[in-house]
Amino acid sequence: MVWGVLLCKRPYIASIKKSGAGHMGQFADLGAQIENEHKALHVSLNQLDTAFDVLPGPDDFKNWKLGLLWQLRDFQNQLQKHFDLEESGGFTSDMTKIAPHLVSKIEDLEEDHLKIISDLTHILDVLKSIQHAESAKIDRVKCRMEGLLSFIRNHESAENAIIQEAYFQDMGVGD
């Protein structure tokens, strides 16, 4: 969702807007809203990429941990709202109407949302339990975080591929 190479350059959104075709115009408005969400989430993702680059010393650990906890909770909230927009805001239902043969792939993406939130909750719980800067748990949290960020990027890439397939093949947009 947030994190693909195509994030800021989604040519199908511009093509849909130009087409002005019936429900496509409505979908383009939703698509533009989702694209804006992607950009905001992308900023958060890039910040999280560097969260463990410089670990604090013992004196700064509590402030570092609290700041990271808050950053992760904000990110989790952003993700939840974004997933709500996609799942309940009409994006998913529009996609399944336009490309019914992609329903299984779309459902897989929705299941990814559950995994992403669950993994992020686990990371938060473990991070919250860490009491000092020298804890071995920090390495485990860092590893989990790297895995989650990679999963999110792969999810975004899969989502982009589905959207492109639905619009470029099924609707002929961009021809």
The answer to whether residues 19 and 174 touch, using CB atoms and an 8 Å cutoff, is no
The CB density around residue 161, as the number of other CB atoms within 10 Å, is 14
8 A C-beta contact, residue 34 and residue 42: no
Place of tokens 């804890």: 135
The angle subtended at Cα 112 by Cα 107 and Cα 115, nearest 5°, is 135
**How would you write the pLDDT of the chain (175 residues) with one tens digit per residue?**
332 323 333 433 433 333 334 444 555 576 777 778 888 888 999 999 999 999 999 999 999 999 999 999 999 999 999 899 888 877 788 888 888 889 999 999 999 999 999 999 999 999 999 999 888 999 999 999 999 999 999 998 898 888 888 877 655 655 4
Residue-level pLDDT at 125: 97
Which of these, 61, 10, 60, lies nearest to 35 by C-alpha position? 10
- The whole-number pLDDT of residue 88 equals 86
137, 126 contact by CB (below 8 A):
yes
